[in-house]
Amino acid sequence: MSIINQMLRDLDARRAESAPADQPALRGLAVGGRLAHHRTPALVWGLLVLVVVLAATLVHVVAAEREPVPALPAASATPLAKLERPAPVVPPQAAERPAQPAATGTPAPQPEPPAQAIPTPEEPAQPSVVALARTTAPAAEPGGEQHRQEGTRVPAPAAVQKQRRPLSTAQRVEAALAEASAAIRRGDQTAAAQALGRALSMEPSHAGARELLAKVYIAGGRVVEARAVLGDGIRLQPGHP
């Protein structure tokens, strides 16, 4: 900046020496020199900005030229023939041919499904009548149980049946009471009443059978028949409680 000012001063001095007689012209030149002196800093700053811009552009261009070029990827070593090799075509006969079994032998027997047990329906029982039958049933005679077992066995040959003795009245009454107890446990009041009636017809003085028959009648709603059975027992045994 000082060099430019020095050059401007030299120019002003030369102009002043070339025209010393013309004072108005010198004054105009002096005024113009002052104006030029005032405009010099603005021009200098503009030139400096331009130089800086040019220098920055030049540096950017040089740096771009010095950048290394990226290496291209290496060409694949696999030939195109291997890449484009078609898959082998399977003939239709070989594809549709069914597979032969490995061995032709006797097929293994299929296991039979397990048999399902059929549940038997449970018959409703009357606990009150069963309990009464157990409490009021008389004690079994020594040979009664054996005779009952013989009645439930498989029939023996004819020779054995001929040797069997007829049952006594007490044994038949005991069998009727056992049949009545089984009917009560099944809930069959009609069969129980019939069995107890047979027992009383064979032995009218059997108090246990009479009381059990009356309770069966009461459980079935046959109150009149129950009273009649109890009344017959009182008439037959007045002293029985």
Give the span between the Cα atoms of 175 and 145, in whole angstroms.
Answer: 9
Give the pTM: 0.33
Longest dimension (CA), the chain: 194
Domains in the chain: boundaries: 2-61, 127-140+167-236
Q: Burial level of 191, CB count in 10 A (0-12/13-18/19+)? A: middle
Structural fold of domain 127-140+167-236:
1.25.40
High-pLDDT (> 70) share of the chain, %: 46
pLDDT digits (tens, 9 = 90+) for 196-213: 888 888 888 888 888 888
Give the span between the Cα atoms of 196 and 194, in whole angstroms.
Answer: 5
pLDDT digits (tens, 9 = 90+) for 226-240: 888 888 877 877 665
| Average pLDDT score over the chain | 67
Structure tokens at 125: 């029982």
Q: What pLDDT band is residue 41 in, cutting at 50, 70 and 90? A: confident
pLDDT digits (tens, 9 = 90+) for 153-166: 555 555 455 557 78
